[in-house]
Amino acid sequence: MIKHIAHTNTNYNFHIDGATLGTTIQKNALTLTSRLIIVSVTHELGHATHIHHHHGIDARASYGGDEYCPTRYWIDPDGNDDRLPFCTTHNDWTMAFLAMAWNPVAGLPDGKPYQLCTSVDDCFHQLALKKR
């Protein structure tokens, strides 16, 4: 975990302290939960409009693809698998989220907004909205 904190601090200019991370998580559990619910609902609303997960030959393809797409997963349950090129980003974002250094509701860690991808998985053009 210390390796991921150091990497996150370097890549995003955060100041996460591994010694106080547990306390930060405990003190902010309700806020973290609320933010995670909002991001999850955004992701699930995509499914409600017929957007599928990112695809690929790997079963973990939902964690890959355009990092600005809300359909892409960013919390990796197997965050220690650094063999995959996108795991470092996932670990960085998870550390920043847990340390309250990044609010995923406000946008991505680099300050850019979420947007449905238009390449590879093309989530934007999967939208199937109906007029009533």
Overall number of domains in the chain? 1
The larger pLDDT score, comparing residue 132 to residue 43, is at 43
Helices 87-98 + 29-48 axis angle, to 10 = 130
**What does the alpha-carbon distance between residue 78 and residue 70 come to, in Å, rounded to a whole number?**
19
123: nearest Cα among 76, 78, 70: 70
Asked if the structure places residue 109 within a domain, the reply is yes
Name the amino acid, one letter, at 34.
S
Compute how many other C-beta atoms are within 10 angstroms of the C-beta atom of residue 37: 11
Asked if the structure places residue 49 within a domain, the reply is yes
Position 80 scores a pLDDT of: 54
Residue-range definition of the domain harbouring residue 45: 2-11+36-126
Asked if the structure places residue 31 within a domain, the reply is no
The larger pLDDT score, comparing residue 96 to residue 75, is at 96
Count each helix (H run) and each strand (E run) in the chain, helices first.
Answer: 4, 0
